Amino acid sequence: MTTATTKANQPATDSLRSRYAAALMPNYGLPPVALSHGSGCVLWDADGASYLDLIGGIAVSALGHAHPAVVAAVSAQAARLAHASNLYLHEGQVALAERLLGLVGADGRVFFANSGTEANEAAIKLVRRMQGPGRPVLVAARGGFHGRTLGSLALTGKDSIREPFGPFGLQVRFVPYGDAEALAAAAGPDCAAIVLEPWLGEGGVVPAPSGYLRAARAACDAVGALLVLDEIQSGIGRTGQWFAFQREGILPDILTVAKGLGGGLPIGACIGLGPAGTGFARGDHGSTFGGNPVACAAALAVLDTIERDGLLGNAARTGERLRSGIAGTGHALLAGVRGGALWQAIALTSPASAAVEEAARRVGFLVNAVQPDAIRLAPPLILSAEQADSFVAALPSILDAAVAGGMA
């Protein structure tokens, strides 16, 4: 793999970064890499340097980059029908809804959106429509992340990104993540729903304790609240199963998915199970682009390929190889590794994640400083054992470089 070039030898990247700064809003800062193209788990920048992609567009690129199945499905669909609106139906939309319900294994109905936050907005409206004004409270977890739109942001348990945009039109009661007793205590008769991630994503890849989702299901049942599970990041094979909640043997009332579903194309889904499947009346919600034919074609190709190529098993096997390799790395900056399958966090002994991210990038690995003391890994589900081993082998020198840089 060709590692990243030095700044002095990045004329195309520097030019694009300059144009970016002059034309785009500054909410993302100035990204360090200008990507050009990709193949499989490898990306190239505008100056020809290559990188092993271990973040997958934030758990989006389930099949990596330029996967033949997605390319073929998108190309064929774009040549037939690129847009329909929801004044009409098309077969891909129906087939994808049927497929998702089959993967969940329960009766229900699907609403398609364009992103995770839109899927969560639909879930919030569905809860309100079903529960009415007599149950104004939603219960959510500190450290949870549900999106950037105002409804989803109201449920996000991170003060630094939520508080600048308040007040919100939702009454949210926050509890510590993983505390089943606190969850039950917060879910009183005024509670419309409990909204949780089965694993915290932006909170640092933190799996729920065993039994926590069962406790959440019981807390909802005790007071007539709905259980909403946000699997925007954890769904579609990221944890080695189609959905993380399936490990607990429970069903939510509402499930939201996005990210990996489209394999790079924008799509999200709010799945209502049981009575929640028909909780909306005609005209209650909508999306001009939701269920877009091209995005649905991509999603069906993703699901077919994951199943055909045994990628749930690959995620589990390669993820365990990656986890055990990282855990066996003896370094003063390494505190441990958490998560599983191909969704993990490297825990650090100091808030040095930005330095680690930069050091990794300099030697050709893209990772994400998700928390000050945690590095997130969410590579494509096609990651090979050899690719995982290459990162494990490079990790000690990456951590050394972060320490030498004075950031650790």
Task: Extract the residue ranges of the chain whose pLDDT is less than 70.
Answer: 1-8, 406-408
Residue 8: what pLDDT? 56
Using the 3D structure, point to which of 308, 343, 371 is the last residue of a domain. 308
Identify the domain containing residue 210 by its residue range: 68-308
Q: How far apart are CA 334 and CA 330, in angstroms?
A: 7
The 10s digit of each residue's pLDDT in 341-366 is 999 999 999 999 999 999 999 999 99
Q: Say which CATH number the domain at 322 has.
A: 3.90.1150.10
Q: How far is CA 336 from the centre of its chain?
A: 22
Number of domains the chain contains: 2
DSSP structural state of residue 207: E
- Asked if 320 and 239 count as a contact pair (C-beta separation under 8 A), the reply is no
Indicate if 95 and 234 belong to the same structural domain. Answer: yes
Indicate if 252 and 291 belong to the same structural domain. Answer: yes
Residue 406: what pLDDT? 61
Residue 9: what pLDDT? 79
Q: How far apart are CA 342 and CA 59, in angstroms?
A: 9
The 10s digit of each residue's pLDDT in 153-196 is 999 999 999 999 999 999 999 999 999 999 999 999 999 999 99
Using the 3D structure, point to which of 284, 308, 332 is the last residue of a domain. 308
Residue 164 belongs to a domain: yes
Using the 3D structure, point to which of 267, 289, 308 is the last residue of a domain. 308
Buried b (16+ CB within 10 A) or exposed e, 341-356: bbbbbbbbeeebbebb
Residue 154: what pLDDT? 97
